[in-house]
Chains A and B, each alone.
Chain A
Amino acid sequence: RKEVEQDPGPFNVPEGATVAFNCTYSNSASQSFFWYRQDCRKEPKLLMSVYSSGNEDGRFTAQLNRASQYISLLIRDSKLSDSATYLCVVNTVGGSQGNLIFGKGTKLSVKP
């Protein structure tokens, strides 16, 4: 099983739609979780951290389910500018990969 798995997509949705991405991780000792956004040919940028109690930032809601070892990202009222690849990232203390493990990303395309 891969350490961090995501559906690669693409998710093609109309403007205004609600879209959800899931991500699963394999190491139950993982302690910190993040969603990053990467635009085409650009560096990844932190979108939001994911807290155990769930957290919301405007149209974006992130949730963590430790028992099932998955993380989700919900985007409401999608905008054209939300089109990007969304990377699920897990921080594992003591992990060999410098402590952060990246999923391969889920591509979102919002159409007018």
Chain B
Amino acid sequence: SQTIHQWPATLVQPVGSPLSLECTVEGTSNPNLYWYRQAAGRGLQLLFYSVGIGQISSEVPQNLSASRPQDRQFILSSKKLLLSDSGFYLCAWITRPIGGYTFGSGTRLTVV
């Protein structure tokens, strides 16, 4: 079966510290993968998407970066976190043939 894994579930990090969030999918190959952020009380904001290994498209200029070192692995990183990076980070992949997204369970990041 097709599943998506995301970790950690919760993270508290100090301002200026690095960040690495990992997302992996199983049961599919060459998926389109996405990173979204949802700030408190706000909608989903697309951060990055990837259509293949090493291919990253950035939607919003920011303090974050993404990488796709393997077909089913998508990583979100930051060298120095800001307070404004706090939020709920969600990884997703497109479920075919329907075309909707399946989301991972998310990482709730609080920068203090």
- Residues of chain A whose beta carbon lies under 8 Å from any beta carbon of chain B: 32, 34, 36, 41-46, 49, 87, 89, 91, 96-100, 102-105
Assembly CA distance A89 to B100 (angstroms):
9
Proximity bits, B86-112, A CB within 8 Å = 1, else 0? 001010001100111111111010000
Assembly CA distance A100 to B98 (angstroms):
12
Interface size on B, residues (CB 8 A): 23
22 interchain pairs, CB-CB under 8 A: A34-B100, A36-B100, A42-B105, A43-B105, A44-B44, A44-B103, A46-B95, A46-B98, A46-B100, A46-B101, A49-B100, A87-B44, A91-B99, A91-B100, A96-B59, A97-B46, A98-B34, A98-B49, A98-B59, A99-B32, A100-B100, A103-B43
The dominant DSSP class at the B interface is strand
Task: Provide the residues of chain B in CB contact with A36, threshold 8 Å.
Answer: 100
Interchain nearest-CB distance for A16 vs B (Å):
29
Is A43 a contact of B43 with CB atoms below 8 Å?
no
- Residues of chain B whose beta carbon lies under 8 Å from any beta carbon of chain A: 32, 34, 42-44, 46, 49, 57, 59, 88, 90, 94-95, 98-106, 108
Chain A-chain B contacts (Cβ-Cβ < 8 Å), number: 52
Assembly CA distance A89 to B102 (angstroms):
13
Is A104 a contact of B57 with CB atoms below 8 Å?
no
Please, which residue of chain A has its CB at the minimum distance from the CB of B44?
Answer: A102
Is B34 a contact of A102 with CB atoms below 8 Å?
no
Contact with A46, one of B59, B102, B108 (Cβ below 8 angstroms): B102
Interchain nearest-CB distance for B23 vs A (Å):
12
Assembly CA distance A45 to B101 (angstroms):
8
Task: Provide the residues of chain A in CB contact with B98, threshold 8 Å.
Answer: 46, 49
Interchain nearest-CB distance for B90 vs A (Å):
6
Is B108 a contact of A102 with CB atoms below 8 Å?
no
